[in-house]
Structure 1
Amino acid sequence: MFSRKLAKSMRERLRAERRENQLIEARAKEEISFIYVVNPPEIPRIAFGSGLERVTLPMSGPSLTPFMRKIQGEVREFPGPHEYNTTKDLIKKNASKYGNAPFVSKLPRLAQTATSAYPPVGTYHVHPPKKLKQAARPFNVGALQKPVEKFTTTGPANYAIDRQSPNMKICSAFGSKRIIWPAVAIICSPVNNAKCSKCSSTPIGDYYHQFKLNLDLCRSCMKKQLRILKRCTTDLYYRARMRNELNQYQRVRYCGFFHDHQGTTAAIQLMSKSTLKYKIRTENYLYTYHKL
């Protein structure tokens, strides 16, 4: 099959377009800095046959984001109270230019301050009461009266019912025995080898011990570390690391308060067992409310 022969006018138009493209390519090869740019067509301003400005973003509703609400400002079709130019006083003597109606109340809008007929506080002449002479025998009874005892019981509102108290450390040994471990661990050794890792002094009384690294810390140094921990200038990372390190310390004490080793493994009892048990039982109760 042979292709259909084009008309003469069609062949001439194709020949002219081909010649124009060849001229453009030859000019582009001669001039290296030439950039062939095709201007895009201009977008018509009229949309749907109307040239009015349209709101493309939502002005209200769930589709309005906080950023859009911030940049669009106040959207209202009426002027605000501060945009009126009031040249005349708004307070008029008569509400209408024709005057007042009959039987209208002509009392002032705001009532006057009422004055009291009684003198205020501070103007009274108060005389101090005379001291009465105490009778020798109240109610004709010569016996000594029992003094009123001071009420030392804690009030109901002083109990922190919303805060659960921690449980005591109890060793039941599967029901064979029941041992309440002391709230403060007791280190029993012939010689007190405790030494503070900060000030290198021997702690007096209770101190803090870290069992993993075998480090000691006296109470004064612990208070200094807690004071540094509460400073506003302390870095957050350093505060978290410091709190983690201080939580590993436990309160301990040397065994010299209830027996004396005198440098040997044997010990001389300085406190009876009943007194020691009462002391441990009392401290276990009080240390449930203790904070580091």
Structure 2
Amino acid sequence: MENFSDIYLSGEEKPPSNIVFGTTQNRPTFPTDIAHDCFGNTQTPIRGVPGIGPGSYNNEEKTTFRYVLDHQPMSRRGYTFNARTEQRKTFVPKADVPSPDAYQPDHSGKMSTKRAFKPFSAAAQRFSRSNSADGPGPGNYELDVQQNRHVHQLHAFGGRVKLIPAVKTKCMPINTDKCMLCQQPPQGDYYQYRNEILCAKCFDFNWQFQEKFKRSYLQAFQKVRDCSLIHEHSGTQAKIQLTEDRVTKKLQRKEAYLSLYWS
């Protein structure tokens, strides 16, 4: 490659060389050729005719003008091109539709008008009267209901808050508890105070009629249940967990809240 000073001193400009950046060969481009890199390995080049343009379509073979010649009425007399002297296609009228006056209901002879007692029905009742006996009266509300109820929890200074469950769960391999009145094993939740056990049926009966125990004594009983729904012992001290801890805690929170309103 000659120096710029040599060209300037000679006063003549030489024609540019055909070699551009060291080569005169055709360079492969992506749409038609494969690039020799990772992009060319993953992308497939476009096949077919790459240089096709708008003027390369066969309009004489595929065009909408052929559809016009086949479907539009043509000339039979030869006056001019497409004179449309042929009979045109007409739409078949539909007579199986109702008339415009058939949509409205016919009230003739069915409704009887009554003359108003006052002009413009000024004496007519605007709003329907509701029966006051449908709802409770002012003296039927319970006023001595405990307000601001809270779920019982154990608090510790700097520690976590622990929920006190409304139903105590007894973890034992085999439930041998029996009701002290009916001498039957309890079904479901039952009540216990120290070593005294009452099933739910005997507890409700004594709470209502106070036959064996008074209500002041029954208030010391706590509702308990066995761990058959949570654990499986199979007669041993080992336990297999049947329910997840999050499900058990959710049930305990729900029972603790509902125990504030129902026993």
Give the alignment's TM-score, normalised by structure 2.
0.43
Higher helix fraction (1 or 2) = 1
Give the alignment's TM-score, normalised by structure 1.
0.39
